[in-house]
Amino acid sequence: MPPKTKSLSVPEPMLPTYTAITALTDAFCQEVLNDEYAQLCREMTATLARKRPSPLVTGQAKSWACGIAHTVGSVNFLFDKSQKPHIRADELCEWFGVSKSTGGNRSTQIKQILKIGLMDSHWTLPSRMEKNTMAWMVMVNGFIMDARSLPRPLQEEAYRKGLIPYLPPEKESAHE
């Protein structure tokens, strides 16, 4: 079962702000990153636009766009040289024309508003979800386990409850 995507619905009064921010993040992702990053940036922008009151009503679109790309990037280890794609945080901020402190501060603000932590499965790229061990940890009878090792009915229940991002492919039996 494929991962669930987040809503891109935006309140009517926030549409111009959403459009301005996503135009910047889309351009950045197209030039430097990829379509997966662009989609998560759009989803994060829409999520912030739906907050009441939306934090996006204050400040410049470029600082929010930078903060959003920075936040999605930090969850997905974009600043780690061993990852592909990779960019330094100062280069990301420079691309948007904001200082590193402004980009970092916006990212911190977004993480607080949306309660985003390291390896947050809600903001992990779909292509990285399999390697995000935190996305698969569930508690069963007081023990923390990787849901991918559980029997299929328990996996289905964990997915139904929103505890895991998607149903992993069924493993073929060794007896077949």
pLDDT at 175 over 80: no
Kindly state whether residue 2 falls inside one of the protein's structural domains: no
- On whether both 90 and 40 belong to a single domain, the answer is yes
Provide the CATH number for the domain around residue 78.
Answer: 1.10.472.10
Give me 2's structure tokens.
Answer: 């494929």
- Confidence (pLDDT) at 172: 62
| 124 φ/ψ angles, rounded to the nearest 5 degrees | -85, 140
In a domain, 5, yes or no: no
User: Is residue 81 one of the residues assigned to a domain?
Assistant: yes
- CB within 8 Å of 65: residues ≥ 6 apart: 21, 22, 24, 25, 28, 41, 96
Chain segment 139-162, per-residue pLDDT in tens: 888 888 888 888 898 888 888 888
Average pLDDT over residues 132-136: 76
Q: What is the mean pLDDT of residues 38-55?
A: 96
Question: Does residue 90 sit in the same domain as residue 137?
Answer: no
Structure confidence at residue 7 (pLDDT): 77
- pLDDT surpassing 50 at residue 3: no
Angle at 44 between CA 42 and CA 46, to 5 degrees: 70
**Same domain? 35 vs 83:** yes
Residues 73 and 100 in one domain: yes
Among residues 36, 37, 101, 115, which one has the least CA distance to residue 67? 101
Give the separation between CA 71 and CA 78, rounded to whole angstroms: 10
pLDDT digits (tens, 9 = 90+) for 62-78: 999 999 999 999 999 99
Asked if residue 4 is part of any domain, the answer here is: no
Instruction: State the chain's mean pLDDT as an integer.
Output: 89
User: Is 165 inside a domain boundary?
Assistant: yes
Residue 58 has what DSSP assignment?
S
pLDDT at 173 over 70: no
Which domain range does residue 170 map to? Answer: 132-176
Is position 127 within any domain? no
pLDDT category, 87, cuts 50, 70, 90? Answer: very high
Q: Is 93 domain-assigned? A: yes
E-only strand ranges, the chain: 137-140, 143-146
First to last CA, the chain: 23
Task: For the chain, give the percent of residues with pLDDT over 70.
Answer: 94
Shared domain check, 147 and 66: no
